[in-house]
């Protein structure tokens, strides 16, 4: 572990709306700003029934940067008609990001149970390629998030940073990069080299932190607060920052346990855990 790594910069702390899911976005942005958080990543479910431009302005008026919109993707499907529908939803996400003022959309790329992963990967590549003109016109970029292989059945056929880097290389567009989430990739023996490669490709667009609990009781909603698990967070941030990355460190925690707690206390613990462990 590097001892030269500086403590995490509070000015680079971003929290996802899903992390404090019980709070409506208006409450979350006010509480985040008051607590000294500087960035917010907005989940689309938090926008239901809102005027997007007005919500974006309200967030910026709190002094928060809108880091990204979560999420687009889910490109693979068994029929051409369903794949077209998926593309339409992604086009809607691009329009939403533009209206909100979010410069980036995180992609959970998708997979279909029983469909060969190679076919899903081809459909993912074709889907992202089809969106590039809209991205460029809207000034919105896309970040491929590799997901832990336990989600390869139905959530993403892109499961390692190496695969995400290959996809970025194949697409060769400055509109497409990677959202690196420690929860999904911490186990990968090629992680250090692939982070460096991602940096060389200028493709490291976002960095998400949480922790891996032992035992993990739910595949989706039992992520840990930083420091509660076994992910070597300081080591990973050192590798990320060695690429020159100085973007936000985004706290993204799906946790039924944490959502059941008092969210103000929880936010205070997030900030403490950010200082102590990220």
* Least Å from the CB of residue 181 to Zn ion: 3
* Least Å from the CB of residue 205 to Zn ion: 12
Separation of alpha carbons 154 and 127, rounded Å? 17
- Give burial (CB, 10 Å; 0-12/13-18/19+) of 1: exposed
Residue closer to Zn ion, measured from CB, 90 or 210: 210
* Least Å from the CB of residue 165 to Zn ion: 17
Question: Tokens 């000034």 identify what position?
Answer: 139
- Give burial (CB, 10 Å; 0-12/13-18/19+) of 262: exposed
Contact 202, 174 (CB under 8 A): yes
Residue closer to Zn ion, measured from CB, 83 or 168: 168
* Least Å from the CB of residue 178 to Zn ion: 11
Residue closer to Zn ion, measured from CB, 19 or 29: 19
* Least Å from the CB of residue 210 to Zn ion: 8
Residue closer to Zn ion, measured from CB, 21 or 208: 208
Cis peptide before 78 (omega within 30 of 0): no
Pick left, alpha or beta for residue 136 (phi over 0 → left; psi -120 to 50 → alpha; otherwise beta): alpha
Q: What is the DSSP letter of 70?
A: E
Residue closer to Zn ion, measured from CB, 83 or 207: 207
* Least Å from the CB of residue 41 to Zn ion: 9
Angle subtended at Cα 144 by Cα 95 and Cα 24, rounded to the nearest 5 degrees: 55
Residues 6+ apart with CB under 8 A from 141: 103, 104, 105, 135, 174, 175, 176, 177, 205
Residue closer to Zn ion, measured from CB, 83 or 209: 209
* Least Å from the CB of residue 32 to Zn ion: 17
Residue closer to Zn ion, measured from CB, 211 or 252: 252
The three-state secondary structure class of 237 is: helix
Q: Six-digit token pair at 140?
A: 């919105």
> What residue ranges bind Zn ion (CB under 5 A)?
181, 208, 252
Residues 6+ apart with CB under 8 A from 103: 66, 67, 68, 97, 139, 140, 141
* Least Å from the CB of residue 177 to Zn ion: 14
Residue closer to Zn ion, measured from CB, 44 or 208: 208
The three-state secondary structure class of 146 is: coil
């Amino acid at each position: 572990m590097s001892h030269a790594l500086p403590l995490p910069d509070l000015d680079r702390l971003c929290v996802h709306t899903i992390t404090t899911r019980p709070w409506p976005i208006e409450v979350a942005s006010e509480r985040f700003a008051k607590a000294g958080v500087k960035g917010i990543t907005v989940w689309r479910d938090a926008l239901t029934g809102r005027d997007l431009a007005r919500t974006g302005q309200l967030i910026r008026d709190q002094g928060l940067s809108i880091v990204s919109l979560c999420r687009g993707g889910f490109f693979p499907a068994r029929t051409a008609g369903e794949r077209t529908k998926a593309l339409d939803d992604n086009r809607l996400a691009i329009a939403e990001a533009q209206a909100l003022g979010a410069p980036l959309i995180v992609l959970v790329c998708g997979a279909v149970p029983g469909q060969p992963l190679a076919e899903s990967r081809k459909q993912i590549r074709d889907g992202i390629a089809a969106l590039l003109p809209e991205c460029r016109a809207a000034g919105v970029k896309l970040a491929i998030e590799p997901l832990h292989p336990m989600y390869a059945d139905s959530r993403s056929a892109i499961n390692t940073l190496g695969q995400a880097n290959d996809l970025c290389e194949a697409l060769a567009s400055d509109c497409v990069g990677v959202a690196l989430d420690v929860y999904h990739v911490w186990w990968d023996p090629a992680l250090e080299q692939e982070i460096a490669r991602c940096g060389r490709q200028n493709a490291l667009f976002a960095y998400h932190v949480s922790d891996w609990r032992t035992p993990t009781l739910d595949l989706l909603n039992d992520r840990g607060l930083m420091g509660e698990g076994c992910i070597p967070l300081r080591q990973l941030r050192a590798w990320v920052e060695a690429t020159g990355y100085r973007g936000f460190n985004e706290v993204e925690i799906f946790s039924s346990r944490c959502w059941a707690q008092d969210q103000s206390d929880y936010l205070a613990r997030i900030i403490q855990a950010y200082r102590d462990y990220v």
